[in-house]
Amino acid sequence: MNYLKKWVWGAICLFLTLPSFSQEHPSIMLSKQNTEALRKGVQTYPLLKKSWKKVKSDADKAILESIEVPVPKDAGGGRSHEQHKKNYISMLNCGIAYQISGEKKYAAYIEQMLLKYAAEYQKWPLHPKRKEGHQGGRIFWQSLNDFVWQVYTIQAYDLAHDAISAGNRKTIESGLFEPILKFFTVDCAETFNKIHNHATWDVAAVGMTGYVINKPDYVQMALKGSAKDGKTGYLAQIDQLFSPDGYYTEGPYYQRYALLPFVIFAKTINNYQPELKIFQYRDQLLSKAIQTSLQLTYTDGTFFPINDAVKGKTYESSELVYGVDIAYADIKASAELLDIAEKQGEVVVSDAGLKIAKDLSEGKSKPFVYQSQLIKDGASGNEGGLGILRSGSNEDQQAVLIKAASQGMGHGHFDRLNLLYYDNGVEVFPDYGSARFINIESKKGGDYLPENKTWAKQTIAHNTLTVDQTSNFKANADLAQQSSGQVSYFKADKDLQVFSARESNAYPGVEMSRTTALLKVKELKKPLLIDIFRVNSEKAHQYDLPFWYKGNLVDVAPKIRNYTDQLKPLGSKYGYEHLWLNAEQAVPEKSGYLSILNNKRFYTVHFATNAPLNLKFVSLGANDPDSNLLESKAFLLSSSDSKDQLFFSITESHGQTNSVSETTTGANSMISDLKIITSDPNQASFSFKVKGKTYQYQINYNSKENFIKIN
């Protein structure tokens, strides 16, 4: 246990002897002593002014509408579901509006609504619908939504607290919040004591409520678990859910989601008990987690959509607005965070938002710097990790992510050694993300679709090797959870960035390794993406290495011919049943290329291998009776009967087209003559030509000093 951790634990043990908390309100995102400054700030600093304007407009709209507290009945996206979601947002907005404007009507709205909930809540049984495989809530179809509801609602209550009569406070606390505390800790005890993001929402809701309505016992349980032994609860979650690099094992989409209860509960703890120094806990882990969340986005702000991710989610989401505001105001005022706050276009109308908006208006912002980095996974940082290679400005950046991490629990995909490639503001080799139309009720209530299991999680849906048309670990998540990919090498020099990793468990008897580099050669403006996927086995297997791509194919060698009068699925399980086989072509030369035009830029993928090869083209959509799958297409480097094989590819980003001026430049790739020279367990070496000049590229798998050699 390091020093800071000891400190926090010591302080916690100390506080357990204290009988109760200071009852000053508000005391979470807004604090009483800061109210005057904030009231001036919303008139002064543009970003805060804009954010306040929106809050006030929403609050003004809310108070004009009748208060609706429907009996819970609908699934996600349905009417009662959306109304209860709307209610907590309206209450929070009104709470802020009350504090800023001092107008009682906003507090009265919260008071009336909470009284209505207090009158109804205890009559509601468990929600009649149930999100598949999830614990039910009472207000919503899963308890998670109830936890989230309470994290927002308790803030609204804290904000309106002093304007609500003592009698009504008693009614609300005894009729609503106390039953909720009981439901969250007793009925939902299993979730409460998990090491899981749902549990974080649960403990945050319980802990925040405990502080605000002065129930120290619940705060203790929130921090240390029901048994108060520290094996579960908030601190155990910080210890175990994040890696030392601040990576949350489920991936960026859930990292973002998990982050909010972590940081907002931390902020609450810090306000009520600053002596706990919670932001220092585990070497400022929460600060790292926020930084890592930002580093897990492409330059357009979207999160890398590995695992069960909803695509299009960006750091503009409210969780990161909270995260960035708190990180800047309460942990470390890094000028780069101001750049993100500015792109988010809003701040939380709060003490933290005031600080951000003030500093932004004073021109303190610096451009956010995206790093090439290795992000380790696992509570101890020894369960593999993500390699991120980046080159170019924030306006036109190549970004490569290779995933050699742990399974990532229930939302993990079977995608060991998966590769994602972005350039020029768009996806080049995308990840499918999850199969889900979030919040679209006609699509299974907005929940994960069956195709999330049959397709999105399967190995073939990803840019990595599938062996024998079977997913990693035969798609057994429990088995997959027992091991992780392993990082062999990472380096990020100016002209050469490399990440190398291996996977030994996904297929028994099959060793896989992937070594991916961005290599800048002087003949070309942009670095080349060089990818060496190596597989070794004593037995022969079928290998499929797909490249899911965006854009339109404009050239292929060897020449291919699509099937013209009939399409059939490529296989029958592990996701293959969803692929229409559009074309297949033997590649007698064992090498070839494909040129793709994507967002007015060309991507030519040259490939070479050392065993007989077929080039297959597939598109998504077979065995999809309900049109649940999105248009997607790939080419596969495919070997039907091979033991040791090495797939060598170079992707060149080149040229441009302009449909307005109707001009095309740089349409021809400058790369040629890919050759595999040697391939053995210690060393693999290759050559290729750039504008006729030969390059030799060598991987020394067992040499950290000389892992890659180029001449």
| Chain residues in the site for a copy of itself (CB under 8 A) | 77, 82, 85, 310-314, 316-318, 437-443, 446, 552-555, 560-562, 564-569, 580, 582, 595, 597, 617, 619, 621-627, 630-631, 657, 659-665, 667
Which one of the listed residues 254, 272, 574, 697 is annotated catalytic?
Answer: 254
By C-beta, is 84 or 224 nearer to a copy of itself? 84
By C-beta, is 119 or 426 nearer to a copy of itself? 426
Q: How far apart are CA 129 and CA 481, in angstroms?
A: 30
Minimum Å distance from CB 335 to a copy of itself? 24
Cα dist. 305→122, 254, 309, 652 in Å? 40, 10, 5, 23
Q: How far apart are CA 283 and CA 395, in angstroms?
A: 33
By C-beta, is 406 or 582 nearer to a copy of itself? 582
Minimum Å distance from CB 55 to a copy of itself? 14
CA angle 571, 574, 382 (to 5 degrees): 145
Minimum Å distance from CB 259 to a copy of itself? 15
Contact 365, 335 (CB under 8 A): yes
Q: How far apart are CA 487 and CA 363, in angstroms?
A: 41
By C-beta, is 483 or 664 nearer to a copy of itself? 664
- The separation between CA 404 and the C-alpha centre of its own chain, rounded to angstroms, equals 16
Residue (of 127, 126, 125, 91) closest to 108 by Cα position: 91
By C-beta, is 385 or 546 nearer to a copy of itself? 546
By C-beta, is 143 or 220 nearer to a copy of itself? 143
Partners of residue 15 on adjacent β-strands? none
By C-beta, is 307 or 464 nearer to a copy of itself? 307
Minimum Å distance from CB 25 to a copy of itself? 27
Beta-carbon neighbour count of residue 562 at 10 Å? 11
Minimum Å distance from CB 76 to a copy of itself? 9
Q: How far apart are CA 617 and CA 342, in angstroms?
A: 43
The DSSP 8-state label assigned to residue 296 in this structure reads T
Q: Which two tokens stand for residue 469?
A: 């048309």
Could you tell me how many residues make up the chain?
711
| HEC assignment per residue over 198-232 | HHHHHHHHHHHHHHHCCCHHHHHHHHHCCCCCCCC
Which one of the listed residues 161, 411, 462, 606 is annotated catalytic?
Answer: 411
Residue (of 183, 74, 163) closest to 122 by Cα position: 183
- The separation between CA 151 and the C-alpha centre of its own chain, rounded to angstroms, equals 21
By C-beta, is 164 or 340 nearer to a copy of itself? 340
Contact 249, 410 (CB under 8 A): no
Biggest CA–CA distance in the chain, Å, is 85
Minimum Å distance from CB 646 to a copy of itself? 28
Q: How far apart are CA 115 and CA 132, in angstroms?
A: 32
By C-beta, is 281 or 593 nearer to a copy of itself? 593
Q: Which two tokens stand for residue 146?
A: 């109830």
Minimum Å distance from CB 134 to a copy of itself? 17
By C-beta, is 122 or 672 nearer to a copy of itself? 672
Minimum Å distance from CB 123 to a copy of itself? 28
Q: Can you list the alpha helix ranges (DSSP code H) found in 316-350?
A: 318-326, 335-344
Minimum Å distance from CB 562 to a copy of itself? 5
Q: How far apart are CA 401 and CA 419, in angstroms?
A: 6
Partners of residue 596 on adjacent β-strands? 553, 603
- Residue with token string 């979730």: 191
Q: How far apart are CA 62 and CA 705, in angstroms?
A: 63
Minimum Å distance from CB 432 to a copy of itself? 14
CA angle 270, 276, 277 (to 5 degrees): 70
Strand-pair category, 579-586 with 541-548: unpaired
Q: Which two tokens stand for residue 199?
A: 């549990």
Residue (of 501, 453, 512, 455) closest to 477 by Cα position: 453
By C-beta, is 296 or 480 nearer to a copy of itself? 296
Task: Check the CA dihedral 351-352-357-358 and report its sign.
Answer: positive
Minimum Å distance from CB 45 to a copy of itself? 23
Q: How far apart are CA 410 and CA 699, in angstroms?
A: 35
**Is residue 127 annotated as part of the catalytic site, yes or no?**
no
**Is residue 254 annotated as part of the catalytic site, yes or no?**
yes
Instruction: Write out the catalytic residue numbers.
Output: 254, 411
